[in-house]
Structure 1
Amino acid sequence: MINNLIKFFLYNRLVTFLLLVILVGWGLVTAPFNWQVGLPKDPVPVDAIPDIGENQQIVFTEWAGRSPQDIEDQITYPLTSSLLGLPGVKTIRSSSIFGVSSIYIIFNEDVEFYWSRSRILEKLNALPKGLLPDGVQPSLGPDATALGQIFWYTLEGRDEEGNPAGGWDPQEIRTVQDYTIKYALSSASGVSEVASVGGFVREYQIDIDPEAMKGFGVTLMDITKAVRESNRDIGAKTMEINQAEYLVRGLGYVKSLEDLESAVVKTVNNTPIRIKDVAFVSVGPASRRGALDKSGAEAVGGVVVARYGSNPMEVIENVKAKIKDIEAGLPSKVLADGRQSKLTIVPFYDRTQLIQETIGTLEEALSLEIIITVVVVIVMLLNLRASILISSLLPIAVLMCFIAMRYFGVDANIVALSGIAIAIGTMVDVGIVLTENVSRHLDMKKDQKLVDLIYEASKEVAPAIITAVMTTVVSFIPVFTLEAAEGKLFRPLAFTKTFALVAAILVALLILPTLAYWFFGFQPKNKRFRMVLNAITVIIGSVALFNGLWLAALVLIGIGVSNLFQLVKPQTEKYLKHSALIVALVAVNILLAEEWAPLGVQGSVFLNFLFVALIIGLTLGVFSLFIKVYPTLLNLTLKNRKTFLIIPAFIVLFGITIWQGFDKVFGFMPKVFGDEIRTAKLYSNLNHSLPGIGKEFMPALDEGAFLLMPTSMPHAGIEQNKEVLKMLDMAV
């Protein structure tokens, strides 16, 4: 079957070409990187790190003014007991603080996210009457995960030039946030919730006068009832007058302080006792349990939470587009100094930067790996066509990997893309094996038809290639079986490495033979045609140089001039035999020096070029020397097998000692020689130098970002916390 597939795609090269174009175009469409290729984008969802949180839903319940103990006894415990019977529940955790109950329901990993939400809602709607206090209604948290907070912003007064102008009260800003911006941003695609942070919620406040209440014989319940019943509209029947129907309504919604002040509490001797007679009514800020501080000053803003399963990058772009739509309609005012202060949405946490920095690190690593691979292949094979053929496998296979990630639901993050980086070496090996075998057949059977020769060469190594790659794929099966947080962390890596390796097999066996036919088959014999072709290459290089593409110009002009020189003066061919290789190698070294910059960006490109050339020269020189002396070393080790086995045995022992620690590996020595050996200088130094390798669940990420999370004393009030937070922000 494999041979039939190879033969079909090799002998039907138009089909192979169309397949290649489709795969490249499709891969560019789904690529997670911000490549501007003029095609519609359907990218792989991108995030900085994998979401390793548990399959969790949260039930919030508010009961204003109640102590944590009351919350625990009358809300948290009854609710937790009722929710324990939900199907698929792994465990339930709860937290009770002043006025708020939070219940965290952890489901098994195989339970679908929205199915679990529907089960919780069914349970909450079927709670027995009287289970919770009157007026208390539990609510389900947003359909998001712990990594859902993707965008934070503040609302600030700015002048026409964008400079801070102020002039807005926190209460005014919070009102705009709650009733304008929050609803607008919630309508952006992929947004689960927009939560308001900071400022003061505007409310009517009634300060009762105990003496007046006593004098009029009014109780607190009378005032509460009067307020509740005064803020409502009453619907009635209809009336028909002159054949026209009119709706009868009783209008009673509170629209001003006067409406509330005029509410009747009770009537004494046909005299109404109003709220203003027994209390003072005003508009003021509601009590709060949190605040937002920015650079030492109190601020008002919000946090955008992305919906479960959405693409964070796409959601952020949707939010930014919505902000652009609504910013023109935000309120403004004229300050005392004549300046106009307009409320402006100012982002202060945008995960786009972290995602781009993290993904950019992997993008750079993949690019550098491919460039270094090209250098190694050029030098080791000394065949430019074969080098280009092998190097072409990498971008095609990586693009195919992006397609698989998109439709298998694997998000692009630092761990997932690392799987592609790890697979680069094996992918190159696949291309080298196939190309080297084709080159060997070309040297051995020059009289055979090229297409048949390539088919024979490909068929010969296909089983070995598949066996070698599938061995690596099978070795990752245990990673696919990981569960919980470790599974969520490492399964994407196993998926992407498997995708990359399978893509490499498909490209090597189905596409590379056709590319090899084109690469090795294009050898024009006509001298004049070859001169025209190289002259065109020089002209294209000159155009590239004129357009600022000097590196591409170097390659095209260098190869074209070299070939023209060999055609004009055939006696120079033996001296310029590898000139095209040298030009390509110099160009790739320059590109590597610019992209990698091992001496830093402050160093010149020339110094970086020399350093890269030195590293590559030394590395390849050592490998070349090893290849030359390998037969001698092999004979020597085979003649002295027992002596040579001491070296690998020592390496294994030393590796285990580094891994487990000296004291753990050689802990038997004190039992044999006595505990006094632990005080020996040699034993003590080795134990100190080889303590064992430490363990850490998450890898350290150094993307230039820091997270400061101060913790205050439990008894600290909000004013104290605000002051501490202000000083911390000013210090930072």
Structure 2
Amino acid sequence: MKAQERRGLVHWAITHPVGTITISLGICVVGLALGTNLAVDLLPKIIYPQVRASVTYPGVDPEVMEQTVTKPLETRLATTENAILITSESSEGRSGVDLHFSYGTNVDFALRDASTKLDQARGALPRDVDPPVIFKFDPSQIPVLQFAVSSPTRDEAWLKRWCEDALAKQLLTVEGVASVDVAGGLDREIQVVVDPERLRSYGLTVSELLSRIQEENVDISGGRVSSATREVLTKTKGKFRSVADIERVRIPLRSGGEVALTDIARILDTHRDNRVYVRLNGKPAVQVAISKQPDANTVAVVDGCNRVLARLHAEGFFPPDVTSQVVEDQAFYVRAAVSGVGNAALVGGALAMVVVFLFLRSLRRTVIIGLAIPLSILGCLALMGVSGMTLNLMSLGGLALGIGMLVDNAIVMLENIDRHQRRGEDALEATHQGAAEVASAVAASTLTNLAAVVPFLLISGLAALIFRELLLTISFAILVSLLVALTLVPMLSGQLFR
């Protein structure tokens, strides 16, 4: 082949081995840097186009909840922009309204709009309902670590209070932790048990009794007190700080005079009715669930929380009679999935090299394929890092499927070069000739495979959210395999057989 005809990427790579090796090493460095920083998760980041608003109104009948809470919420939230469906449910003391949007809708914008509508609906809700809560459906908010805290000597109320007030604060310091939720145990509750007969004998009603207790349980600002040198703010402390403070409340009578609260009611220092029961090996316990931030690494968050728990045990933060035991660890499943797919990819690459050796009967040509596979994988990881993807079942599955495509182009290029070199031609000349003959065919076949994948990237809906990273990984693998087959493979073929 004449020098004037040696144009294009293939011939440049053959005649510039140092430049080709330098570029390959650069791809390796970038691939390692971006690949090691890829977040590891079980599944791709999927945010359903759905927003939910919920309101709690303890002790209220479902029909009353529907009339007083659910319907006002539906009326306001139905005007949310781009909402295509609204559903609701009412149960005892709880109401929920779900807003559904088309796939592709900016859920964050929809959440802000729905929050505005929810604020407008608050005026139509009963005064004593709990504040409404609104959130978007995000599978990444599923707890990544759950563990139980138990003690053979301490009661459930103390365990829950200690987990909420002390342990949760320590775990929130771990990078990537979004929330720490405590379930089970007992919540302290001060009950005022009214005697109906005595209440009626004094001519009082329950609402009057409730209003008086609420009025007494208030801290009131006392204004400023100034002197020549300083100025201080004052307040009257009216908040109840003990059961004795509640017992000292006096109720004014309509006929004049007052009556002690203890004369018409009993004050009980007890616990709220338990709706959630947590048991560890049949014994009462408290569950602590840790959720990560949307962009955080599941494995890193779980490892960080485990390190904090180990440090707290070692430093004596946990009382001697309090123990913790992990009951669910998402990082375990992520590691198992990543390890399984990674091992499958390694076995696939090794088998591809064995097949090349059996057909070409050349250890040096097998080494070329062996170098092409990791370079292609690192190039693919670099593109995944630039695209903001994560290592999960879908992307690793695409990488494993792409390994076969990674070696297809390299084998075609290598076999044709080998055919020319076995004829006794000069190694470099045979490399130029063999690479030139199949370069266009390799490029055409690769682009044909890519063209077959591209339409699937244009689909919408839930399938697009789930399979997008799988398809992108396959597309990256196809592109990188073409680049390696047109550069590294012919360059090594020419240099190793000179």
* 1:169 corresponding residue in structure 2: 155
Aligned to 2:97, what secondary structure does the other structure show? strand
* 1:15 corresponding residue in structure 2: 19
Q: How does 1:103-252 map to 2 (within 5 A)?
A: 103-127=97-121, 129=123, 131-136=124-129, 137-141=131-135, 144-145=138-139, 148-157=142-151, 166-241=152-227, 243-252=229-238
Give the superposed CA RMSD.
2.7
* 1:625 corresponding residue in structure 2: none
1:516 and 2:493 are equivalent in the alignment:
yes
Give how far 1:463 is off.
1.0
Partners of 2:198 and 2:311 lie apart in 1 by 53
Sort the Cα spacing of 1:308 and 1:81 in 2 relative to 1 into closer, same or farther, 3 A.
farther
* 1:285 corresponding residue in structure 2: 271
Partners of 1:481 and 1:58 lie apart in 2 by 28
Paired residues of 1:148 and 1:308 also in contact (CA < 8 A): no
1:378 and 2:378 are equivalent in the alignment:
no
Identity within the alignment, %? 23
Q: How does 1:276-355 map to 2 (within 5 A)?
A: 276-324=262-310, 326-327=312-313, 328=315, 330=317, 332=319, 340-341=320-321, 343-355=322-334
Q: Which of 457, 462, 466 is the aligned partner of 1:480? A: 457
Q: Which amino acid aligns with 2:445?
A: A
Partners of 2:120 and 2:255 lie apart in 1 by 48
Q: Which of 365, 382, 399 is the aligned partner of 1:420? A: 399
1:394 and 2:373 are equivalent in the alignment:
yes
* 1:54 corresponding residue in structure 2: 48
The Cα offsets for residues 116-150 of structure 1, whole Å up to 9 and x where unpaired, read as 22122222223373x22223331113773376222
Sort the Cα spacing of 1:492 and 1:247 in 2 relative to 1 into closer, same or farther, 3 A.
closer
Structure 1 unpaired stretches of 5+: 32-40, 158-165, 333-339, 522-732
Partners of 1:384 and 1:365 lie apart in 2 by 23
Q: How does 1:679-694 map to 2 (within 5 A)?
A: none
Q: How many residues align?
A: 492
Q: Which amino acid aligns with 2:128?
A: G
* 1:75 corresponding residue in structure 2: 69
Give how far 1:383 is off.
0.4
Aligned to 1:66, what secondary structure does the other structure show? coil
Q: Which has the higher contact order (CA 8 A, sep 6+)?
A: 2
The Cα offsets for residues 509-535 of structure 1, whole Å up to 9 and x where unpaired, read as 1323333344334xxxxxxxxxxxxxx
* 1:462 corresponding residue in structure 2: 439
Aligned to 2:52, what secondary structure does the other structure show? strand
* 2:31 corresponding residue in structure 1: 27
The Cα offsets for residues 379-423 of structure 1, whole Å up to 9 and x where unpaired, read as 111000001101221111112222222222333222332222222
* 2:87 corresponding residue in structure 1: 93
Paired residues of 2:53 and 2:135 also in contact (CA < 8 A): yes
Sort the Cα spacing of 1:103 and 1:186 in 2 relative to 1 into closer, same or farther, 3 A.
farther
Paired residues of 2:146 and 2:289 also in contact (CA < 8 A): yes
Give how far 1:168 is off.
1.7
Bigger CA radius of gyration: 1
Partners of 2:211 and 2:356 lie apart in 1 by 86
* 2:37 corresponding residue in structure 1: 42
1:357 and 2:336 are equivalent in the alignment:
yes
Partners of 1:12 and 1:277 lie apart in 2 by 100
Deviates more, 1:377-386 or 1:137-146: 137-146
Q: Which amino acid aligns with 1:4?
A: G
Paired residues of 2:27 and 2:378 also in contact (CA < 8 A): yes
Q: Which amino acid aligns with 1:320?
A: N
Q: Which amino acid aligns with 1:254?
A: F
Aligned to 2:33, what secondary structure does the other structure show? helix
* 1:576 corresponding residue in structure 2: none
Q: Which of 430, 437, 446 is the aligned partner of 2:416? A: 437
Aligned to 2:389, what secondary structure does the other structure show? coil
- TM-score normalised over the length of structure 2: 0.90
* 1:491 corresponding residue in structure 2: 468
Give how far 1:363 is off.
1.0
Q: Which amino acid aligns with 1:148?
A: I
Paired residues of 1:405 and 1:411 also in contact (CA < 8 A): yes
Q: Which amino acid aligns with 1:134?
A: R
Give how far 1:72 is off.
1.9
Give how far 1:224 is off.
1.2
Sort the Cα spacing of 1:2 and 1:91 in 2 relative to 1 into closer, same or farther, 3 A.
farther
Deviates more, 1:269-278 or 1:55-64: 269-278
Give how far 1:318 is off.
3.8
Paired residues of 2:70 and 2:95 also in contact (CA < 8 A): yes
Give how far 1:377 is off.
1.0
Deviates more, 1:69-78 or 1:407-416: 407-416
Give how far 1:270 is off.
7.6
Sort the Cα spacing of 1:270 and 1:86 in 2 relative to 1 into closer, same or farther, 3 A.
closer
Structure 2 unpaired stretches of 5+: none
Aligned to 1:149, what secondary structure does the other structure show? coil
